[in-house]
């Protein structure tokens, strides 16, 4: 590929265009109850900062007028633009009326470059700025169509598109590897945990609910809560609160290396389900477990990963979700957790699970790095 010096892009010959010249808004409507089309895409099917649509619904799932979309179009979430949802269509179907369907003008912008342009900070920030409304801010076409954007000459656009699609291909291949590892992990997990003899989790670990802390006290300590507990078993230490604790509370609720943190209540985040578990691996760091979580402390440190795999097995997660009460924010109590029976895997079984789990973490890290690089490239261009 021809090398492109993104750090020194000469924009002296770039031209500014109003958005209505860059793309048209497709307004063809469809009644989902009277269509032979089989694919429906709502905003819930589009992931933030992802140009691909990975999930679908059916027209029979919805009612009311929807928008028709064709291969090559881009579905852009006009409601809550800060969620950064814009994905390219590779099918013929219908989508939510809370979205715009954009079709690139090939005389102004290369259709292959267009989806990346929509994901640039320049475009997304402008969309947030022109959104109107309180609880559910929305973009009006009458405001969007007059917005001016600087674009490179057509002959440069193809090279830039090739570079960005090459980066996207790297990310997609890494996601394919991750999917294969996940399949192997869950297949092995099911085999190990489905039929073996189980015992109460209390036999292997001490269980307590976390603490909210106090309004004032002698010491301010970091509290790890729901948002810091990730799917991959890691903790996000950028997401914590700070609250006051007295020495007695600190000693009772402080996390130690090898502790497991489990979400017991999703709190205000309905996307995070009760039962999600992460591992605390920090040494000599003062963190407290939130009142929305359990602290599970293995009686033997060597059992940390075995208990983690056991809790995250489909069998255990299904059991915990069945026990969770409350429709808006499902919640588990300590008494519920004590009902959980687990099987502690043998050393060789644990090693196989650990190897796959570590491979997952490596690929996850690669994907995050690649996505960060892709985002940087997009913003260097636009």
What's the CATH code of the domain at 297? 3.90.220.20
Q: What is the mean pLDDT of residues 302-313?
A: 92
pLDDT band at 367 (very low <50, low <70, confident <90, very high): very high
Nearest to 264 by CA among 239, 244, 289, 294: 294
How many domains, the chain? 3
In this structure, is residue 365 part of a structural domain?
yes
Residue 98 and residue 116 in one domain: yes
Residue 204 and residue 335 in one domain: yes
Lowest-pLDDT choice from 53-57, 68-72, 129-133, 332-336: 332-336
Hey, what are 45's tokens? 């099917």
Contact 308, 279 (CB under 8 A): yes
What is the reported pLDDT for 271? 43
In this structure, is residue 67 part of a structural domain?
yes
In this structure, is residue 238 part of a structural domain?
yes
In this structure, is residue 1 part of a structural domain?
no
Residue 160 and residue 285 in one domain: no
What is the reported pLDDT for 144? 95
d(CA 181, CA 185): 6
Residue 139 and residue 156 in one domain: no
Residue 316 and residue 368 in one domain: no
pLDDT band at 1 (very low <50, low <70, confident <90, very high): very low
What is the reported pLDDT for 85? 95
Domain assignment of residue 38, given as a range: 15-151
Inform me whether the pLDDT recorded for 234 exceeds 80.
no
What is the reported pLDDT for 269? 44
Residue 85 and residue 126 in one domain: yes
In this structure, is residue 209 part of a structural domain?
yes
Nearest to 352 by CA among 298, 300, 313, 309: 309
What CA dihedral angle connects 279, 306, 314 and 223, to 10 degrees?
-20
In this structure, is residue 5 part of a structural domain?
no
Inform me whether the pLDDT recorded for 246 exceeds 90.
no
Q: What is the mean pLDDT of residues 296-322?
A: 90
Contact 208, 264 (CB under 8 A): no
Q: What is the mean pLDDT of residues 219-241?
A: 75
Residue 202 and residue 177 in one domain: no
In this structure, is residue 10 part of a structural domain?
no
Residue 56 and residue 165 in one domain: no
């Amino acid at each position: 590929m021809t090398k492109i010096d993104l750090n020194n892009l000469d924009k002296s010959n770039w031209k500014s265009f109003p958005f209505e010249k860059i793309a048209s808004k497709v307004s063809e409507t469809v009644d989902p109850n009277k269509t032979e089309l089989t694919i429906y895409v709502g905003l819930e099917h589009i992931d933030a900062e992802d140009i691909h649509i990975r999930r679908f619904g059916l027209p029979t799932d919805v009612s009311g007028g929807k928008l028709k979309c064709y291969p090559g179009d881009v579905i852009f979430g006009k409601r809550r633009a800060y969620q950064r949802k814009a994905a390219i269509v590779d099918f013929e179907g219908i989508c939510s009326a809370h979205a715009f369907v954009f079709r690139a003008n090939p005389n102004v912008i290369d259709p292959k470059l267009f989806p990346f342009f929509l994901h640039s900070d320049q475009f997304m920030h402008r969309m947030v700025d022109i959104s109107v409304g309180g609880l559910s801010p929305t973009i009006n076409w009458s405001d969007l169509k007059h917005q001016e954007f600087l674009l490179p000459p057509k002959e440069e656009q193809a090279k830039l598109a090739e570079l960005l699609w090459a980066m996207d291909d790297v990310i997609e291949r890494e996601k394919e590897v991750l999917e294969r590892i996940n399949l192997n992990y869950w297949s092995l997990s099911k085999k190990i945990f489905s039929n073996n003899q189980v015992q109460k989790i209390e036999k292997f670990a001490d269980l307590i609910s976390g603490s909210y802390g106090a309004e004032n006290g002698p010491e301010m300590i970091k509290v790890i809560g729901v948002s810091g507990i990730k799917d991959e078993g890691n903790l996000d230490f950028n997401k914590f609160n700070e609250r006051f604790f007295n020495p007695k509370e600190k000693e009772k609720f402080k996390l130690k290396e090898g502790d497991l943190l489990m979400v017991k209540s999703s709190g205000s985040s309905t996307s995070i389900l009760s039962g999600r578990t992460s591992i605390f691996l920090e040494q000599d760091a003062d963190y407290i477990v939130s009142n929305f979580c359990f602290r599970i402390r293995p009686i033997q440190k060597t059992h940390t990963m075995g208990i983690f795999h056991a809790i995250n097995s489909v069998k255990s997660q299904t059991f915990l979700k069945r026990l969770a009460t409350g429709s808006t924010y499902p919640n588990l109590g300590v008494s519920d957790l004590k009902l959980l029976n687990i099987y502690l895997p043998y050393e060789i079984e644990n090693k196989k699970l650990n190897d796959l789990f570590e491979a997952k973490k490596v690929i996850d890290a690669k994907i995050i790095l690649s996505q960060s690089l892709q985002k940087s490239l997009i913003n260097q261009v636009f």
